[in-house]
Amino acid sequence: PTNQVAAGERRVATIEELPQVVLSGERDSFLAAGLALLDAPNPYYLPHNGVNGAEVEILGRTMVNFAGYNYLGLAGDPRVQAAAAEAIGTFGTSASAARLIGGELPLHAQLEERLAAAYQVDDAVVTGSGFLTNAAALAFLLGEGDLAVCDSLVHNSIVSGTRWAGCRRMSFQHNDPDALEALLSRSRRHFGTALVVLEGVYSMDGDVAALPELVEVARRHECFVMVDEAHSFGVLGETGAGIHEHTGLAGTDVDLWMGTLSKSMASYGGYLAGSRELMAAMKMSAAGISLYAAAPPPAQMAAAGAAFDIMLAEPGRLKQLRDNQAQMLGAARAAGLDTGLAQPGTPLVPVITGGTETTMRICLALLDQGIHTTAIVHPAVAETEGRLRFFVTSEHTPEQIRRAVAATARLMA
């Protein structure tokens, strides 16, 4: 068969060999160590029942759950569910077209208005996936001869976007304005457009970007700035508007805000927010944002809109989320656990466990004790920096938090 014919020095893989061939390359998959990982006991793809909340039923057992992004506890809120159900009743289950050609629903424009207002920028565009929002936006903005300057800990969706873009990608030491300054002094002049890409709260570490300082450096070197607010919108700031509200920056101090609807907004999809010109360009020309890709479905838009309203009407949820995380972080530190760079007031607490095997063992032992958390191992993080990641929500009780910390500390002892 043609797929086994030698191509120069390279033998072309058969379809059966393909996964191993792909994984043995430089691919960014935590299965690169071998598919064997999934044959051994592991905490991945666990089937669960019910809403992904502070508790969840896994394999028939009710577990305390620290493995979901349902930060404000709204994914199972009856008001959010009713809004989604009503949208399905009115608009059906699919938008059934890309907005550019098939038209849009009022739900799309309404959510965009709210997002633009939260950022105090001209406009916003909602999209079908958080991951693809980053990938598509970066692919659209940057090309050959351009430079993406990324914090060293940015999410894979950002790295993927720079690959799609075909631009150069350089990283600077995590959250360090001096390192950004040094990189830009050395390299900025060799490139056309340069975009500094940051996150509001870092998803593996739970620390907050030094945004004002980093923006200042970027501006001095004539770079654009993009901030991913996946873990900071609906978390930071008095009204949940994110890191600009938290730091006192204006929404217009950043060129492009990006966020996801799958976390605090209890839905699915992504968004971009920024100037009228940039948003118009995204809407008219960016493949995968709102052309060549179907519009996000009615139920998801209505759910996010309802969650947004509840966040504004019940700011106590934001405070409770941040207090819960601060309580967990404080307790973990007091118990002698290594919480890395984590800061109070974010939605997650990492506990650094070390190598892959240790991380896996402790994660499974916690499951056995009715505590569900996430095991993050190489290459998502460095081999020695494997960690358990506890996502906190406004719904966790002090007792659940204490129990999880005490159990982890016992297993780490």
Residue 214 CB, shortest distance to ligand PMP, in Å, is 16
Query: CB neighbours (10 Å) of residue 106?
Result: 11
Closest to ligand PMP by CB, 343 vs 369, is 343
Residue 179: burial class (beta carbons within 10 Å; 0-12, 13-18, 19+) = middle
Binding site for ligand PMP (CB under 6 A): 129-131, 134, 155, 157, 199, 203, 228, 230-231, 260, 262
In whole angstroms, the minimum distance from the beta carbon of 226 to ligand PMP comes to 11
First to last CA, the chain: 56
In angstroms, the CA 270 to CA 226 distance is: 14
Q: Within 10 Å of residue 321's Cβ, how many Cβ atoms? A: 25
Residue 266 carries which DSSP code?
S
- Give the nearer residue to ligand PMP in terms of CB position, either 138 or 360: 138
User: What's the token pair of residue 254?
Assistant: 């950043």
Phi, psi for residue 6 in degrees, rounded to 5: -65, 135
In this complex, which beta carbon is closest to ligand PMP, that of residue 224 or of residue 233? Answer: 233
What contacts 33, CB < 8 A, 6 or more positions away? 356, 378
Choice between 8 and 45, CB closer to ligand PMP = 45
Shortest distance (Å) from residue 335 CB to ligand PMP: 26
Element (H, E) at 195: strand 194-199
Residue 160: what are its φ and ψ, rounded to 5°?
-60, -40
Spell out the residues 6+ positions from residue 68 whose beta carbon is closer than 8 angstroms to its own: 52, 53, 56, 75, 391, 393
Q: How far is the CB of 324 from ligand PMP (least distance, A)?
A: 19
The nearer residue to ligand PMP, 231 or 372, going by C-beta atoms, is: 231
Which residue, 231 or 322, has its beta carbon nearer to ligand PMP? 231
Report the largest interatomic distance among the alpha carbons of the chain, rounded to a whole angstrom: 65
Considering the complex, what minimum distance in angstroms separates the CB of residue 292 from ligand PMP?
A: 18
Find the shortest distance in angstroms from Cβ 197 to ligand PMP: 11
Phi, psi of 321 (to 5 degrees): -60, -50
User: Which residue lies nearer to ligand PMP by CB, 154 or 411?
Assistant: 154
- Measured from the CB atom, is 151 or 181 closer to ligand PMP? 151
CB of 191 or CB of 268, closer to ligand PMP: 268
Do strands 123-127 and 270-274 pair parallel, antiparallel, or not at all (unpaired)?
Answer: antiparallel
| Beta carbon of residue 374, minimum distance to ligand PMP (angstroms, whole number) | 11
Q: Are 78 and 201 in contact (CB under 8 A)?
A: no
Report the alpha-carbon distance of residue 231 to residue 259 in Å, rounded: 8
Query: Nearer Cβ to ligand PMP, position 131 or 140?
Result: 131
Q: What residue is closest to ligand PMP based on CB?
A: 130
Question: What residues contact 6, with CB distance under 8 A and at least 6 apart?
Answer: 12
Return the structure tokens found at 80: 């959010």
Residue 128: CB minimum distance to ligand PMP, A:
9
Question: 380 and 153 in contact (C-beta within 8 Å)?
Answer: no
Amino acid of residue 308: F
Q: How far is the CB of 231 from ligand PMP (least distance, A)?
A: 6
Q: In the complex, what is the shortest distance from the CB of residue 199 to ligand PMP, in angstroms, rounded to a whole number?
A: 5
Dist. CA 228–CA 273, nearest whole Å = 11
